Structure formats: structure tokens, C-alpha cells
Amino acid sequence: MFSDLTPLKELETGRRRAERLAYFEMLASGIAHEIKNPLVAIKTFAHLLPRRHSDERFIEDFGRIATREIQRMERLLERLHTLSRPSDRLRQPLDLRVPVTEAVETMRAAFEEKNLVVTVVTPPTPCMIRGAHAELGQLFLNLLMNAHEATPPRGMLRVELAVTETHAIATVLDTGPGVPAELLDRVFEPFFTTRQRGSGLGLAICAAIAQTHDAKLKVANQPAGGALFTAEFPLAVAAPAPVSA
């Protein structure tokens, strides 16, 4: 009996190792790619500096571009940090309506600039879950930034929060082109992007944050087109009273 199980177990261990290696390769190549571009920009300037140091325009450009590219690398480090930080200990009871509406407020000016019609629907009573406020804000901000990015001017965006007996369900939908069916499985992968200057970390971070909140994060396309992201959080339940001995 046991000897029959061993090869199966070995197969499973081998499969897991291969999966981890593939994931590591994806992360490593993504990080390398993200760091290479800013480095090349800075290196090129540094190389020309001895010959051009009295060219005021050159020095000005160097300062501006080096600062921008360094900020890009700093942002990458910050985002990788979010991706790797387990926040279980920081979870506390909070009203999910708060990070949702705050994220919408943060994006308000960007939405207005593009003339997007934004509808926000939240229940009249608190949606209590256990969570980390800043991370949840990050999750909704990333979803809203993507929706903003994907939706053409004068398009529509809808953010909805609903509660069932057991869950709080947040929905973000837009009237952009949606996610091509063959890419639906890949959008949560770190460094997967279809955007020119995207890093492809936004949704990977959302997925990591959802996971630490025991939430299910899903993507689909609406029948009429446009992406639909849902995040389903277990509602906080009162801790059972300690049993007296």
C-alpha cells in the first residue's frame, strides 16, 4: 500500500519544485527587466558626463532623467515589498466601505480629467471584515487605476459593495475593452502586462493582499464588454466566547 504511494508522492514533490522554479524564473526575469531600463538610461548619461559636464542642458536632463528612473526603481522595490509582506498580524475589524470610498476619492481628479462617469454604490450599514486598512486601500486603488487606464474618455466605471449573510463582495467594472479571453488566467501573474509602461505588478499585489485577507479575487468580462473584478471577503464574526474551565 505505502510503496504504491511513494512514487506518487515523489511525482507531486517534483511537480511542486518545478512550479516553484517556474515562478522564481518569472519573478527574476521580471525584476531584471524592470531594473535594466532605468539602469541603461542612467549609465548612458553617466558615460557622457565627462565630455558634457559644461553643457547646462545636458546636466539638467541628466538630473531630471536620473531622478525619474531612480524613482521608478524605488517604486518597484516598494511594490515588491508589498508582494512579499505577510500582514496577518495587522488585521483588525474595519468597515470595508472606508478603503473603497477612499480609493475612489484618491482617483476622483483622474476620473474627472478623462470625463469618466463613476458610480459608487455601498450599503447603508457598515461591512465589517478583518483587514489591514492600508493594504485594502492599495488593492482598490490598483483596480481603479486599471479601470481608469482601460476605459476610453467619457466611459463608465462602477464600484459596488454588497453584503450577503457571510461575505462582503466588492465589484469594480468598466466599459473598456475587457481582458482578452486567452489572458484571463494570466493577469494576476507578477510582471504580466500589456501596457507600454506597465510593470505588471498591480494585480499581483491585489492577489497577494486578497490572499492575506482570505478573500477571493476574480476577473471576468461583462457580456456587453468591459472588465469585471470581484473581491469576496469573509465578514468578521464575533470571536466565540472563551469556554470557562
Ligand X SMILES: Nc1ncnc2c1ncn2[C@@H]1O[C@H](COP(=O)(O)OP(=O)(O)OP(=O)(O)O)[C@@H](O)[C@H]1O
Residues that bind ligand X (CB under 6 A): 142, 146-147, 150, 174, 176, 178-179, 187, 192-195, 198-204, 227
Q: How far is the CB of 176 from ligand X (least distance, A)?
A: 5
Partner whose footprint covers residue 193, from Mg ion, ligand X, none (CB < 5 to 8 Å by kind): ligand X
The reply on whether position 122 binds Mg ion by CB under 5 A is no
- For the chain, what is the largest distance between any 2 Cα atoms, rounded to a whole number of angstroms? 82
Q: Which of 188, 233 has the CB closer to Mg ion?
A: 188
Q: Which of 64, 75 has the CB closer to ligand X?
A: 75
Rounded to 10 degrees, the C-alpha dihedral 39/42/46/51 comes to 130
Q: Which of 79, 97 has the CB closer to Mg ion?
A: 79
Q: Side by side, which strands form the sheet with 216-221?
A: 117-121, 156-163, 167-174, 227-234, 216-221
Partner whose footprint covers residue 195, from ligand X, Mg ion, none (CB < 5 to 8 Å by kind): ligand X
Distances 105 to 109, 141, 147 between C-alpha atoms, Å: 8, 10, 15
Partner whose footprint covers residue 189, from Mg ion, ligand X, none (CB < 5 to 8 Å by kind): none
The reply on whether position 202 binds Mg ion by CB under 5 A is yes
Q: CA 174 to CA 70: how far, in whole Å?
A: 33
Side-chain half-sphere exposure of 62, counting CA atoms within 13 A:
16
Q: Which residues bind Mg ion (CB under 5 A)?
A: 146, 202
